[in-house]
């Protein structure tokens, strides 16, 4: 029996499952809430800091603590889902998300809130990769999965903007505690519906051992990398602490590689990286995340600092971008079937680069319709197209047994890329601020344009094997 024939019954069963569209809505809701929470809390940091008496450094850790645990535990969460059950881990993450939302809303002191936000990162590290892994298991590779990924990416884009709008409204009307209370009813609903709509799935292979050494080393290494990226703009890229921690990260990474090569059941199976398509999908995910987060840093500081926009007005001014992203996501899933991954990915990175360059015309005297809107629309199209193509590439040929860890790697790539984008663009803004009030913003957008141009080259060379109708498969190890 061929591999295709052996896989056909499960594929047909998944296509025939009438619950899969409802399951997709549930999984996208989880992704939406993780992003919505992150974006709305960004808006609330100044208000929270003032109310709880946090210093600027302590206030930064409302965001950084969450990012650190989220990024550091993603791989561990993805692999644990493969071994223990993806639906089970998804529900555990959702339950923790519910609890930490309540703890955050009820916090009366800074340390309590910072601890709750760090625990929120743990819940997100369980929810995000398992939700994507369940989606991968529910929708077979090809057009059905591409459509599901288009919905996933479109909802994520909406979550980013709605988070800004909703965060501003809740802050104005109900106070910062409402930013967390709003999560509670949604989390309860997801917990009720998960056993009904989601099938349990796990790695049914013979190797059920858990790679404890690899899990500890990779988690510490990834967490340390996120920490270095978060702290580098403040401490300086060439400071002793930054360089010292970078050396420790490289040593931990080398140790992880050695341990993983010797492990009978590695946390990061080497077979996942033998495909240029899978490798390229994850590398490009890092670059797209750098662009998405980096551009957000420039526009938020420009709009709130220079133009004096309120949070709600800022959210409304950005609404054109997620609308364009939704259009781009649906265009991408149709183009993937006809053109293949590489042309779609190249188009996405090119649009992101061009959109960034268009936004270098930012000026207080300029019209929104002529200096901001065109760049937002072009950038938004690229931001919608990119994730659909890159997630499809990153999960191409991945066996059901590895769906959780492969999803964890891809989500981790996005988180690391986001932290790197914020760090790089923040450094560019600070280093060019002395040249004039707008010099830093223009330099920041040119930096984003350069990242997009580099992404075009990476996509062209790494995704050469991902042609239409023949995506490179990850070698299967029996």
Buried b (16+ CB within 10 A) or exposed e, 400-438: bbbbbbbbbbbbbbbbbbbbbbbbbbbbbbeebeeeeeb
Distance, CA of 217 to CA of 209 (rounded, Å):
17
CA-based Rg of the chain, rounded to a whole angstrom?
Answer: 21
The angle subtended at Cα 418 by Cα 80 and Cα 231, nearest 5°, is 100
Query: Which range, 215-224, 281-290, 312-321, has the best average confidence (pLDDT)?
Result: 281-290
Angle, helices 403-432 vs 86-106, to 10°: value is 40
Tokens representing 189 are 């609903």
Query: What is the structure's pLDDT at 5?
Result: 37
Q: What average pLDDT score do residues 338-344 get?
A: 86
Distance, CA of 169 to CA of 164 (rounded, Å):
9
Which of 282, 246, 298 has the alpha carbon at shortest distance from 129?
282
pLDDT at 442 over 70: yes
Sequential DSSP letters for 347-387: HHHHHHHHHHHHGGG--TTS-HHHHTHHHHHHHHHHHHHHH
> 71: which residues sit within 8 A by CB, 6+ positions away?
121, 125, 222, 223, 225, 226, 412, 415, 416, 419
Predicted confidence (pLDDT) per residue in 250-309, tens digit: 998 898 888 877 776 677 777 777 778 888 888 999 999 889 888 887 887 788 777 877
User: Is 55 exposed, middle or buried (CB count within 10 Å of its CB: 0-12, 13-18, 19+)?
Assistant: exposed
Predicted confidence (pLDDT) per residue in 34-43, tens digit: 888 877 787 7
Query: Which range, 142-146, 215-219, 282-286, 471-475, has the best average confidence (pLDDT)?
Result: 282-286
Res. 377 pLDDT band, cuts 50 70 90: very high
Which of 171, 134, 129 has the alpha carbon at shortest distance from 45?
171
The residue ranking higher by pLDDT, 433 or 344, is 344
**DSSP-assigned letter for residue 476:** P
The residue ranking higher by pLDDT, 6 or 175, is 175
Superfamily of domain 268-470 in CATH is MFS general substrate transporter like domains (1.20.1250.20)
Query: What is the structure's pLDDT at 70?
Result: 82
pTM above 0.85, yes or no: no
Predicted confidence (pLDDT) per residue in 138-193, tens digit: 887 777 877 887 788 777 766 766 776 777 778 778 888 999 999 999 999 999 99
> 305: which residues sit within 8 A by CB, 6+ positions away?
none
Other beta carbons within 10 angstroms of residue 102's beta carbon come to: 15
Query: What is the structure's pLDDT at 17?
Result: 60
| Contact call for residues 268 and 409 (beta carbons, < 8 A) | yes
Which of 300, 291, 301 has the alpha carbon at shortest distance from 318?
300
pLDDT at 86 over 80: yes
* Range 55-62 contact pairs with CB under 8 angstroms and sequence separation of 24 or more: 58/110, 58/114, 61/114, 61/117, 62/113, 62/114, 62/117
Does 1.20.1250.20 match the CATH number of domain 19-197?
yes
| Average per-residue pLDDT for the chain | 80
Indicate the Cα dihedral angle 34, 127, 192, 114, nearest 10°: -60
Query: What is the structure's pLDDT at 348?
Result: 93
Distance, CA of 8 to CA of 31 (rounded, Å):
29
């Amino acid at each position: 029996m061929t591999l295709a024939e052996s896989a056909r019954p499960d594929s047909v069963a998944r296509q025939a499952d009438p619950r899969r569209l409802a399951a997709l809505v549930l999984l996208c809701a989880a992704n939406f809430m993780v992003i919505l929470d992150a974006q709305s809390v960004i808006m609330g940091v100044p208000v929270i800091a003032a109310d709880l008496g946090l210093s600027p450094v302590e206030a930064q850790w409302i965001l950084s603590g969450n990012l650190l645990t989220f990024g550091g535990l993603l791989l561990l969460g993805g692999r644990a889902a493969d071994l223990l059950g993806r639906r089970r881990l998804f529900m555990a993450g959702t339950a923790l998300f519910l609890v930490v939302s309540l703890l955050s809303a009820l916090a009366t002191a800074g340390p309590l809130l910072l601890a709750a936000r760090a625990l929120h990162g743990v819940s997100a590290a369980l929810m995000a990769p398992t939700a994507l892994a369940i989606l991968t298991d529910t929708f077979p590779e090809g057009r059905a999965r591409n459509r599901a990924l288009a919905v996933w990416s479109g909802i994520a884009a909406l979550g980013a903007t709605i988070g800004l709008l909703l965060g501003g409204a809740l802050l104005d009307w109900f106070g910062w505690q409402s930013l967390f209370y709003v999560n509670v009813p949604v989390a309860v609903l997801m917990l009720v519906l998960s056993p009904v709509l989601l099938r349990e799935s796990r790695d049914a292979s013979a190797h059920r051992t858990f790679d404890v050494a690899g899990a500890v080393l990779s988690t510490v290494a990834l967490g340390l990398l996120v920490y270095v990226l978060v702290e580098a703009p403040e401490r300086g890229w060439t400071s002793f602490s930054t360089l010292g921690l970078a050396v420790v990260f490289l040593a931990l990474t080398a140790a992880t590689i050695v341990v993983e090569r010797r492990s009978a059941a590695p946390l990061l199976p080497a077979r996942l990286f033998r495909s240029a398509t899978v490798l390229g999908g994850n590398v490009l995910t890092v670059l797209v995340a750098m662009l998405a987060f980096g551009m957000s840093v420039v526009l938020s500081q420009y709009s709130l600092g220079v133009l004096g926009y309120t949070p709600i007005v800022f959210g409304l001014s950005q609404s054109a971008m997620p609308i364009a992203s939704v259009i781009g996501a649906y265009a991408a899933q149709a183009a993937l079937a006809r053109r293949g991954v590489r042309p779609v990915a190249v188009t996405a990175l090119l649009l992101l680069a061009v959109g960034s360059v268009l936004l270098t015309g930012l000026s207080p005297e300029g019209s929104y319709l002529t200096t901001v809107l065109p760049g937002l629309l072009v950038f938004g199209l690229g931001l919608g197209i990119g994730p659909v193509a890159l997630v499809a590439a990153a999960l191409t040929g991945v066996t059901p047994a590895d769906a959780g860890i492969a999803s964890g790697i891809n989500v981790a790539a996005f988180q690391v890329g986001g932290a790197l984008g914020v760090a790089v663009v923040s450094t560019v803004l600070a280093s060019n601020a002395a040249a004039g009030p707008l010099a830093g913003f223009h330099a920041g957008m040119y930096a984003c344009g350069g990242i997009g141009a580099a992404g075009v080259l990476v996509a062209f060379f790494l995704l050469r094997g991902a042609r239409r109708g023949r995506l490179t498969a990850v070698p299967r190890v029996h």
